[in-house]
Each structure stands twice: as structure tokens, then as C-alpha cells.
Amino acid sequence: MGKILAIGSKNSPKRNLFTGQSSMFEGLVENLHIKGGKVDVVNISNFFNINSSGRFSLLRSIEYIGIIFNVFIKVCFNKYTMLYLNTAQSKVGFIRDYVIIYLTHLFGIRICMHQFGANYSGFYKSLPPFFKKRLIKTLNKVDKIIVEGDYTKKQFSFMEDYLNKVVTIPNGLPGKDITVKYDSKVYNAAQPLNMIYLSNMIVSKGYLDVLKAVDLLVNIYKRNVHCVFAGRFMMTSDDQQDINSSKSYFFDYLKQHNLTANVEYFEGLYGDLKEKAFNNSHVFLLPSYYINEGQPLAVLEAMAYGNVCIVTNYRLIPDMVKADNGLFVEAKSPENIAKNVIYLMDNPVLYSSMSKAAIAKYRADYTFDIYCEKIVNIFDTFLI
């Protein structure tokens, strides 16, 4: 295997910042090292913790200049066979990727880009004609483009050769192998049904819909439920509220609707605490309509622990959740979420069957070993 220059985001334990994409990037690099590969890494994490809306900012532009300079130094003093690049789907991010791709192509390095998220066609359509032409010329210099599913592959149809150039590789769950001691979970009506929402607290991810569904379950339908919310409050370009008002609204709602005994909030759950939360929960909730939603790793993690997922039939989510292992709800519909939770509570045998199917689906298709093997097979095609 030749020498690889890997460019992507890394987690930041000091700032308590962890993302699924960063975890997969770090896990892949570690896997390559274990297999004897020579890999140099350039970290493109947002050091200044700037709002990631894709807008220009002086601090972010300074970061990008530093990243590009780091790449330039590395390609000048190392002989790389290929570049593995986690790319962006914003105008500012494209400028960074544009320079990196042209620079490494100039040095004769073969390029594999990995695009996460499922709004690339929206990004392309938002560009003025000049940028569209630049984007296509840039992508023509790339040897392979990895995406998470067929939905995202079709988003590159503006390229003439996208069917051959774009490769679908579903995400895998990084970290230690998850081995649960049960074939399926069991719901006992004498105990509360435990639910978990684990994602960024972004309005379009559906966390407020989950909160209002809990309100309906507790105060209207008199059901014994408990819900854990875990994630950082964040604002995106399609949100109407700022971070502080969203967070205030969440906690004010808990008090006003007497839900403090039924809801727990954590800014983040990691390691043993996250494992315990998933082990204790019966149902995972993510009624997302987030514009950049791709293939959420939290869904895979929930399935690995035997949680039945209640999700929207949106973007790449139905690639993971099927009729035998989860339930689909309408976006922006707390009532629909509540009714599906009640359906599971009233059908414990069906619940256990769906839990078993979730574990089986994860083990068959989404372990990190499977993910890394598929990525390395792509690398091998132009590292020979």
C-alpha cells in the first residue's frame, strides 16, 4: 500500500466535541495503520468553534489558509500515492477543497473524496454559473467519490460520468465492537418505556417534536414513559431561533408541562455513559427533516443495542430502518410520534421482534469492519 494523505475532521476531547463523521475518519485512519498503511493526517476540525452555516468568516478563512499551507508543505516533502479527502457542501468549504484538490493533482497524487450528508444537489443548484463550472472541473480531477447511499449518488448526476466515478459505501459504526448479551430487548408494561433522542439539538432534527410527543404521552395519554435527550444545542442556516432561545424554550417547556420527572438532558453522552443509555432505552427517536441529513450514525448505534427506531422516511434513513425493525412517522408531527410509541407499548411481542431485527440488520451491514473493508478495497484499486 502506498503512502496516503488523509484530510478530515478529528474529534476534540478537550472541547468535548465529538461527531460521527470525525469518529469514522479517526477509525479509518487507525484501521489503515493497523493494516500497515502509511498515513499522514491533516485535521480540518473547526478549531475556533465557528457557526458551521457555510458563511464566510475571517477566523474560518484563517483556519483554511493554515490547512492549505499544511497540505502544501506535506506534498512538497512527501511522495504520496493518494489523497483521501472529506469534502464540504458549502461555498466556503468548496473553496478550501478546490485549492486542496488542484494542489494535490498538480503533484500527480490520485484523489478519493468522501462526501457525507445528503444535500449536495441543493448545494450545486445554489451556486452561480461560474461556480458550477468550477465545481465540475474540480470534480473531474477526482478519481473516486464515496457517498453514503444511492440517494446521494444521484445527487452527482450533474456530472457526465457520475455512474462510474461515484461509489456508494454505507456508514459503519466506529469504536469498539458492540456486542449485546441479548438477541432482542423486551418491554415490560410494569416498567416505563425508555426512549432516547441522541443528535445535535437542531430544531429540524425534530427534538422539539419529540419533546411535545412526550408531553402528549404523559399528560394526555397518561403513559409511563421516560426520555433522554443528548446533544448540543446548535443553530443552522434553516433555523429561526438562536441557540439561547431554543435552549431556554426547551427547559421552560419541561417546567410548564410538568415533565422534569420524565425527561433528562445531557449535553453529550460518551463512552460508558452512552453505552448505558442505549442499553437502558427501548426506543430511539429521530424525526428529522434537517436539510443536510445523511446517514446518521446514532441510528446505527441505536440498532446495535436493539432499540426500535421511530424516524422519518427521509433521505438515507430508510436505507437503515426497515418495516421489520422500526417505524416511520411524519415530520413535524408530535401526535404521530406519540401514537407510534403507544403502538409499541401495546404490542410487546411485536416490539421484541423488531428489536431482534434491528440487531441483526446492524451486524449484517453496518459494523465498522465491514465499512473499513469497503473503503480499503476502493483504495486498493489505485494504490497498486
Same domain for 78 and 224: no
Residue 272 lies in a domain: yes
DSSP state of 370: H
Judge if 263 and 203 occupy the same domain: yes
Q: Looking only at Cα atoms, what is the longest distance across the chain? A: 67
* Whether residues 46 and 164 fall in one domain: yes
pLDDT for 316-329, tens place per residue? 999 999 999 999 99
Q: Do 116 and 220 have their domain in common?
A: no
Q: What is the CATH number of the domain that holds 204?
A: 3.40.50.2000
Task: Look at residue 187 and tell me if it is in a domain.
Answer: no
Burial of 36 (0-12, 13-18, 19+ CB in 10 A): exposed
Structural domain contains residue 227? yes
- Which pLDDT score is estimated for 129? 96
Same domain, 147 and 212: no
Tell me the pLDDT tens digit for each residue of 55-101. Answer: 556 777 888 899 999 999 999 999 999 999 999 998 889 999 999 99
Q: Are residues 359 and 377 in the same domain?
A: no
pLDDT in tens, 234-291: 887 666 666 667 899 999 999 999 999 999 999 999 889 999 999 999 999 999 999 9
CA distances 194 to 215, 223, 224, Å, are 14, 11, 9
* pLDDT tens-digit series, residues 188-233: 999 999 999 999 999 999 999 999 999 999 999 999 999 999 999 9
- Are both 216 and 322 inside the same structural domain? yes
Domain that holds residue 361: 193-365
Q: From residue 67, give the alpha-carbon distance in Å to each of 23, 73, 97.
A: 20, 10, 10
Same domain, 83 and 209: no
Residue 210, in any domain of the structure: yes
Inside any domain, residue 184: no
What global pTM score does this model have?
A: 0.92
Alpha-carbon distance of 277 to 286, in angstroms, equals 16
The tens digit of pLDDT for each residue in 289-313 reads: 999 999 999 999 999 999 999 999 9
Alpha carbon separation from 73 to 138, 141, 315, 333 (Å, rounded): 21, 21, 39, 52
265 in a domain, yes or no? yes
Beta-carbon contacts of residue 151 (< 8 Å; ≥ 6 apart): 118, 315, 316, 319
Co-location of 134 and 200 in the same domain: no
Grid cell 451486524 is found at: 363
What's the total number of domains in the chain? 2
